[in-house]
Amino acid sequence: MRAGSSPAGDLDREGNLGDARRQFQESLDTRIKLGAAGLVAESRASLASLSIEEGHASEAVTVLQEVLPEFEKEKDVANRIAAGVDLSRALLVLGRTEATKVLSQVPR
């Protein structure tokens, strides 16, 4: 879902962050029930990206650092890149200098 378009992403672009969060959370809950680790990581990363928009960058950093190893394990390059960019964005919002290091580690 992160690499492409989603209904929750459309809601986010329209500024309706509460509805986007609710839809992402429902997706996460379903994926947890299915036991699909890669999809759970994808939903958690989407929620983290939304957290940045909501002004909770430090929360996003924690989640993104947790999901990046799952994307590496799954060899999911698209979501790994998206999560790396979001992690860098959150670090920049927080004024943390390691943001450039994160970007340099994103696969090209």
Domain spans of the chain?
A: 7-105
Cα distances (angstroms) measured from residue 77 to each of 42, 43, 61, 97: 12, 16, 19, 24
Q: Which of 102, 37, 44 is nearest to 74 (CA)?
A: 37
On whether the CB atoms of residues 24 and 11 are closer than 8 A, the answer is no
Query: Residue 97 phi/psi, 5° resolution?
Result: -75, -15
Task: Please name the amino acid found at residue 22.
Answer: R
Name which CATH class applies to 7-105. mainly alpha
pLDDT at 2: 52
What does pTM read for this prediction? 0.79
Tens of pLDDT, residues 3-23 = 543 434 444 455 688 888 999
